[in-house]
Structures are given as C-alpha cells and as structure tokens.
Structure 1
C-alpha cells in the first residue's frame, strides 16, 4: 500500500468535495498534513448536517465537548474560553453568549469568530434585578440567516420574566423591541422572510423586521382548538418542517427521585433522579389558506430537535443514527434546583409509541449553560 500522504492534491480535493457530513470532513482533515491542507471551506460541499450535542462545561471551563448522535460519543473537544462562565444559546451554528456583566456576543464555536452585540442595558425593559447569570434572562435567540452568508441578517431574542421580544441588525447600536399585545413568548423561529413566535396560550404572532413598520406584530394563527393547557408546567415550541408550521407541546413533569420523593424548591433531596416519560403533542398548520391546526400523530421520516436553541427539523432518512418520527429534547428544570445547580438531561421521545430513550447519559447541574443542540458549520 502506498503512502496516503503522497496522494496527488487534485485527488484529495476531489475526495473532499464528495464528503457531505461535517464530522467526516473533520476526520478527513486529521489524517495528515497534506490532507489537512485541502480541508478548507471551499472544498466542503455539505449543506444540512446532523446536529451535535454541546455539553455543559465541566472540569475544564475553557473547553466544550461535542457529542455525535451518529457515533454515540464525544467527537470533538474545542478550546472556547470566550464562552467561559456565560449563558449560551444556539442558532444556525452560532452561539449567543451572555456574560455576567451584561455583554452579549455572537460566537462561532469552531472558528472562535465573535460579533459584538449591544449591551443588555439597551433592552427597553432591562432591569438590574431581573438580570443574573444564573437565570435565563435571555431565553431564546434566533438568527434569520448565518452571518457568514449574508450581511443583511437579523437576530431576535426573547428576554425578561415576561418574555419581551426585541431584534438587532448589523449596524444597530441598541436592541429594538417589537410591539406585542400578549406577553411571554415561548419560542421563536424564522421562516419565509418572517419571524414567528408562539405566545401565551399558544397564539402564533408574526413580525417583519425588514418591513415598513418592523416593530408591528399580528396574529398569524389562533391557538389549536384541541389545546386546553396554558400552565407553567408546559413548554411550547414552534418548528418549521417541509413548509408546515408545527407546534409542539411538552408536559414538563416534576422530576421524580428514586426514593419516590419529589424535589421542591429549597429542599435538600440529593437522591438520584428517575424521569417520568414526558408527553408531547404535535399540531401542524399550513401558513397559507385558513391556517387551521390539526393534530399530527406521525412525523414520518422527520425528527425534531427542541431545547435551549432555535428548534428545527431534520430529515432522518438522510442521516444514519437519527431516529425518524422522534423528538430529541433537552429538559430543563430552572425551578427545581439541586445541589446548587439546575437539573437537566437529554432524551429521545418516540411519537409512535410514546416511549423515551436516553440520548446521552449525562445529568447536567450547570446553572448557566445547559446542553445545546448545535448545527455544525465550518465557516
């Protein structure tokens, strides 16, 4: 067998062009110096990627580990001191980081490129008493497009106890609040040139930050008539999947400890946790026409990813290791604190039979940055 390092450059480039998964591209670049020399952005032709799970920082706070769902283990460890001690949220492969002093940045986790954003004090409804690094002052952050692909993009965030919503565009010196008649946005997505947010008791609002009145919102969809909830023990997500808007309702059951006692705020229970299987309901509506909701009992070949990131859908038939007709989720129990942290875990919920299986065997007690789904990109 010949020396792999001596393969012609044009053959290496041709091989690199055939790779579609970012994690395989990383493996390609690690073979030797000559292979690494052609493993550049121009030679990577992949588009939609298998999401990775970014774990909370542990013993080495300057490092973050990424788990491959296909390979079932840590695929990459990244030196990321820019995220140390900061609240992190993910959108389109970028991290929105919020520091204890209120500094906000967009951070690409693999290139470490940062984009400075206006300070948290420029939020219209900013209050010092509500801002703390151990709370989710910013609960959601959603980009309209990747900053490396277009200079005309927008970042929308939901913030504060009441779920106010504001946006920023390149060149802005402060955040601009949108006008909403109902508070407490649960989730936000960008689709078809508009931002959509699910608010309160499952109403869907839309707003156009590029329109003549960028702060105006309007009701795009009424709440599903089958939805009778609205309590704080439910989490609502909004996801676009193949042109259909999906609303996912997750029942946030209280975590149950193995000695059959429930943990309550201020308690001292340190028992290991057994999780109840969460229940999910999925509704779908076309954004054109009447836009009426209908309950969906099957996602077909699709899989949904929900958590402290912009929720998204993946065609599981294209990616080995991703389970079709399933919901990948990260649980968060901000109100149920244990050992000074916030109890979190990840799981896979089957819409077919309601069963739950672990996604990655780790319980996170990190009060700042939970495990996140990340869409990897080379940038």
Structure 2
C-alpha cells in the first residue's frame, strides 16, 4: 500500500468516487469489511455507500419444528421497474439459531434447543458476537419479539438493551455495566413497540407512551401524560380509527424519523364510514396478490410539551422517507439515499408464522390510488414452499 504511482501517489490516493464504485461491485460482505480495513481513505469512501435493507426470518413447518433455518433477502428495485422485489442471498448467520429481531446492525438470535434460552447478538457483516445472559423471569421465550439496543456494542463504552415478549407481561432491561437483566413490569394484552430515542428508551402500546427510567438499581417504566387537541386526557389506550369505526390496534411501533419520534399503529379489518376517515391512513384492503384481511397504518408524531406532557399529531406526509415495520424494531429510511424504497410508504411484514406471509407496501399519501404492492419472499425452497412458514420475520439494516 506504500507506493506504486508517479508523483508519490499510491492506492490510498485513488479518487473517492472510483473507490466507491469498486466497493459497490464487491459480491460479499466479507470483502466489504476487508475493503474498509485497508486504510482511512478507503474506509471514508466506503462510508458513502448505502446498503440495502434486508428481510430476515426463521423458517418452520406447520408443526412449529424446523427452527434455526434463517433466510435473508435484499430489498431492491430493478432498473426500469416500478415494483421493489425481495432477492434471496446467503447472509453470514450462524447455523442452528432462530431469528428474534434486530437492532443497531445486530441480529438477535437464540438457540431453540437450549433452555433457558439466551440471546446472542450477531453482526452478520463483521462476524462479531455478543452473548447475553438468560432472562430467567421470561416464561414465554418462544414469543420474544423484540430486542432493542441503545448503541453498537462494538463501539460504545456502555450500552443497554430492552427485550419484549408477546403478549407483554414484562420488559427486560440489560445494562452492559451491570451485565445482568432487570425486570420491568409493563402489563399489556398484546404487542408493544420500543425505541431508543434521544438518549432514552421509550415503550408504547396503543396510544400509551412510557419512558424507561434506568437510573439506579431498580429501573422503572414511567407513563407519559398525553394531551389531545380536543381536550381529552388521552386515557384511551386502544383507540379506534377516526369516526369510531374499525377494529382496534393490533401492532404498535415507535420509530425515529428525521429526528422526530413517531407512534405508528397497525389496524386490522378496517371499516370506514367516509372519505374523511381515511386522511393519513395507508390502507391495504386485502385485494392484492396473496389476499388476506384489510390493514391500515396510522402515523402520529410525538410532540413534546411541558412538564412531561406529550401530544400526538397526525402525520400524512413522511417526505422522502419510508417506514419498515415488523414485529421487531421498526426504522425509517430516506428514498433519496436508498433508491429501492418508495417515498411516503410503509413496508409492513404481515402474517407472521404463515406459509403465505407477505410484505405489504402501503401508500400513506393516497390510499385510493391502488398503489399498494404485495411482495412475496421467494427463498428458492421449491416444492417445500407450501409447507414452510416463517416463525419470525423482520427488517434488518446492516452496519458496515
């Protein structure tokens, strides 16, 4: 690497745009990691490359067996094509482990044959592993849905994690300094969303938002008081759609997007009474390929007021961003940086555990434009596709 050219120039002095073009053509993550390790100039050039989001999941048969087989797909948009596709590829994931969720460039995995189960964090790009101790007070380990990290364990002096089960009977808080899990009581009858935002963990179920207070030896979940524009006190934890119609919330997510914290709710079997009811809703009525029940996604921005009060403000425009929702940590990406994404849309992983599971792409701007897509993962299993389902699926964004 020392020399090689006239005028004292060397490999480290190659133009950044040329280095980035070479980096984008590399066929494996291992080669990309080696590329970044060559020198500071190459690492800087590679940092400008925008990786594509993955869909990751563990496959199982109808009896619930067959765990530990992880499949992965790139989300990409072919040149000249309007629809995004999910292309299978072989990610570097340890064999025999089930996929749970993902956060900060790490997959949260567990060995289905070991009891009590413990989470191992794996960066499939760099190969780094971080083993976490078992969570002894979680009784329904097969239903663990989310493990959210505060920072990259490989680069932070101290970091924390929150684990969530389904249905939510408690949360688990892990501190790298303490090296142990602590129980956080948070009783809820369904799926809860978690996000680490502005230096703090937040958890939500329905329209209820809580802050996680981690100071001291006994972490606690503190409800935030909500103020509505109509003067209500925000005590309804499971709101229906506007107009009083439709089913209740079945999934809740907290997502950081452009520096804002969003509360995103997924509604099931939507019934609407007027066009006004649909403002700011992304809707799939189940008519696209793959069929299924109707879905609607509603987005609110969390507006921070005074004395710990918050207000939920309906959002209908995500700008150039797209939301990626699954029963794990959700995230937002900008289509300006990630061309495979459609602007102002929601990529919703649907039908967890079913062989005909799909990804629904819902349009927030105009639900009547029939722009929804249904992306069916094809993992090249051939004839076994009809008998193989997904025990868990979720979005993952790699960290190089």
Report TM bin, short chain: 0.7 to 0.9
Unaligned runs of 5+ in 2: 1-8, 61-65, 79-84, 229-233, 242-246, 271-288, 379-384
Q: Which residue of 2 aligns with 1:284?
A: 301
Deviation at 1:109? 1.6
Work out which of the residue numbers 72, 97, 104 in structure 2 matches 1:65: 72
- The question of 1:112 aligning with 2:134 is answered no
Native 8 Å contact 2:252 2:266 kept in 1: yes
Q: Which residue of 2 aligns with 1:322?
A: 341
Q: Which residue of 2 aligns with 1:262?
A: none
Name which of structure 1's ranges 174-183 and 318-327 shifts more when overlaid on structure 2: 174-183
Matched length: 330
Work out which of the residue numbers 220, 225, 249 in structure 1 matches 2:265: 249
Matched ranges for 1:192-203 at <5 A: 192-199=198-205, 201-203=206-208
1:312-351: CA deviations, max 9, x gaps? Answer: 11222232121111011101345xxxxxx56521121001
Q: Which residue of 2 aligns with 1:228?
A: 239
Secondary structure at the counterpart of residue 90 of structure 2 = strand
Q: Which residue of 2 aligns with 1:376?
A: 398
- CA gap of 1:217–1:65, structure 2 versus 1, over 3 A, is closer
Matched ranges for 1:154-165 at <5 A: 154-159=160-165, 161-165=167-171
Native 8 Å contact 1:344 1:364 kept in 2: no
- The question of 1:40 aligning with 2:33 is answered no
Q: Which residue of 1 aligns with 2:103?
A: 91
Q: Which residue of 1 aligns with 2:213?
A: 208
1:114-157: CA deviations, max 9, x gaps? Answer: 1111113x2x3x33xx34xxx42x12110011112213111101
1:254-311: CA deviations, max 9, x gaps? Answer: 9xxxxxxxxxxxxxxxxx9413441111112223445211222222222111103211
Q: Distance in 1 between matches of 2:149 and 2:165?
A: 15
Matched ranges for 1:137-176 at <5 A: 138-159=144-165, 161-176=167-182
Unaligned runs of 5+ in 1: 1-6, 255-271, 335-340
- The question of 1:187 aligning with 2:200 is answered no
Q: Distance in 2 between matches of 1:171 and 1:252?
A: 41
- CA gap of 1:241–1:348, structure 2 versus 1, over 3 A, is same
Native 8 Å contact 1:55 1:67 kept in 2: no
Secondary structure at the counterpart of residue 148 of structure 1 = coil
Native 8 Å contact 2:359 2:375 kept in 1: yes
TM-score (ref. length: structure 2): 0.70
Q: Distance in 2 between matches of 1:60 and 1:180?
A: 29
RMSD over aligned CA atoms reads: 3.6
- The question of 1:298 aligning with 2:317 is answered yes
Name which of structure 1's ranges 50-59 and 149-158 shifts more when overlaid on structure 2: 50-59
- CA gap of 1:73–1:343, structure 2 versus 1, over 3 A, is closer
Q: Distance in 2 between matches of 1:168 and 1:36?
A: 29
Deviation at 1:55? 5.0
- CA gap of 1:307–1:63, structure 2 versus 1, over 3 A, is closer
Deviation at 1:161? 3.3
Q: Which residue of 2 aligns with 1:266?
A: none
